[in-house]
Amino acid sequence: MLTLAARMSRAKPSAIMAVADKAKQLKATGRDVISFSIGVPNFLPGPHVYDAVRDALGKDSGQYGSNRGSDALLDAFLKHLDGTGLTGYSRKNIATGIGAKHVLYNLAEALLDPGDTIAFPVPYWTTYVDIAEILEAKIRAMPCPADQNYKLTPAQLDAALPGVKVFLFNNPSNPTGMVYTRDEIGALADVLVKHPDVWIICDDIYNRMVFDGVGYHNFVNARPELRERVIHVDSLSKTYGMPGWRVGFITGPEVVAQACVTLNSNHITNVPEIVTAAAVAALAGPQDVPTQKCAEFQAKRDLVMDVMNSIAGLVCPRPQGAFYVFPNVSSAFGKSHGGVKIANDVDFCNVLLESKGVACVPGSAFGDPNALRISYTCPTAQLPEGLRRFAEFFAELA
């Protein structure tokens, strides 16, 4: 009998994409649907990126590229790193990949054997669990509920790390949008110093989308002695409005970067030449688009939070980055809308979509079944109407 590999029984399709697909299907039937589901930034890069691509097309060599990434791309990314305060790295500390998901998968393959333990806070980005389960790693989850602002405490981290091979940390956070302050990063870094056998992966892809002047801070700057254990993950997707271009990076110890280069040589070979040209232009060219969009997302965050704060029974810590809010909607459980009972977060999102045409992702996809994720990247003109429908839905619960 022909069978698939056993690991495929552990592989699950993206819960986020499932919601997005359902919203698309409803739109195709003529329904007026406003999607708060998928984390696509909904803007395009500046014209200089497309100019670089057109120029590269005329010079296309048609050849294989570097498994690590072209020198021009590595140098452009090093300059970008300098702008985030991460200095002292060189080309040998970097590897590229086909987006952040690919880079994270490479890191998991490079660092985790079956049975090793990876720890991360809850709520988490859905892919963290998916990758760990495919690779038969054990997961140590650290619950960080709304009443602690969805943030990990030093005491939690210290208690969880014994026996852990990899600690995975996302800041700013998807799905919550929460950002750790300099002092909070420093306190967690102090704990990490006490656990020298733990690799530290920092998923930093929203590092340029930080609001309210809180700034982006990291473990290496807080405790430089962690540099040989910290691996930073970054991407063009969110900052530059380029999710479909699929360019991701890791920065860290040379041995880890080289492991990712070796893995690249066995599957993707290289980031395509045309995509490389676009990435170099985005990183090295004018930064007015990402700067402008960050300001726009902060204004959208303010609008969203005004509505969240007006809804009785809803609890929503105020995010300071990315483009998500993660309200706790558990006060709605046990109530009904239009005669349909809502038992949990999945019911809430299904009934909301069917009755109001608003698509959100259930919090259980991110490890917190009391909440849901709202991505406020929809066109600005749609946001007030989507929020009005959301608040109306809550008001109609009985």
Per-residue pLDDT of the chain (398 residues; tens, 9 = 90+): 898 888 888 877 776 777 777 777 877 787 888 999 888 899 999 999 999 999 999 998 889 999 999 999 999 999 999 988 999 999 999 999 999 999 999 999 999 999 999 999 999 999 999 999 999 999 999 999 999 999 999 999 999 999 999 999 999 999 999 999 999 999 999 999 999 999 999 999 999 999 999 999 999 999 999 999 999 999 999 999 999 999 999 999 999 999 999 999 999 999 999 999 999 999 999 999 999 999 999 999 999 999 999 999 999 999 999 999 999 999 999 999 999 999 999 999 999 999 999 999 999 999 999 999 999 999 999 999 999 999 999 999 99
pLDDT at 15: 66
Six-digit token string for 102: 């690919």
**Buried-exposed string 270-300: b where 16+ CB fall within 10 A, e elsewhere:** bbbbbbbbbbbbbbbbebebbeebbeebbeb
Torsion from C-alpha of 259, 261, 266, 271, nearest 10 degrees:
150
Q: What does the DSSP assignment read for 283-347?
A: HHS--HHHHHHHHHHHHHHHHHHHHHHHSTT-B-----BTTEE--B-GGGTT-EETTEE--SHHH
**Buried-exposed string 2-15: b where 16+ CB fall within 10 A, e elsewhere:** eeeeeeeeeeeebb
pLDDT at 196: 98
Beta strands at 324-325 and 372-375: parallel, antiparallel or unpaired = antiparallel
Return the closest-CA partner of residue 70 out of 254, 230, 247: 247
8 Å CB contact between 301 and 284: no
Can you name the CATH fold of 47-284? Aspartate Aminotransferase; domain 2 (3.40.640)
Q: Is the Cα torsion angle 38, 39, 41, 44 positive or negative in sign? A: negative
Kindly report the pTM of this predicted structure. 0.95
Region of 313 (left: φ > 0; alpha: ψ -120 to 50; beta: rest) is: left
**Buried-exposed string 131-169: b where 16+ CB fall within 10 A, e elsewhere:** bbbbbebbbbbbebebeeebbbbeebbeebbeebbbbbb
Task: Report the C-alpha gap between 301 and 176 in whole angstroms.
Answer: 12
Q: How far is CA 46 from CA 78, 190, 240, 272, in A?
A: 20, 40, 8, 20
CATH 3.90.1150.10 region(s) of the chain? 6-44+289-395
Task: Report the C-alpha gap between 115 and 395 in whole angstroms.
Answer: 47
Q: Which CATH class is domain 6-44+289-395?
A: alpha beta
Task: Report the C-alpha gap between 28 and 22 in whole angstroms.
Answer: 10
pLDDT at 225: 98
Return the closest-CA partner of residue 128 out of 227, 201, 188, 41: 201
Task: Report the C-alpha gap between 367 and 145 in whole angstroms.
Answer: 10
CATH 3.40.640.10 region(s) of the chain? 47-284
Return the closest-CA partner of residue 352 out of 317, 397, 315, 310: 397
Helical (H) or strand (E) element with 15:
helix 15-28
Judged by DSSP in three states, 27 sits in helix
Task: Report the C-alpha gap between 165 and 160 in whole angstroms.
Answer: 11
Q: What does the DSSP assignment read for 143-174?
A: E--GGGTT---HHHHHHH-TT-SEEEEESS-T
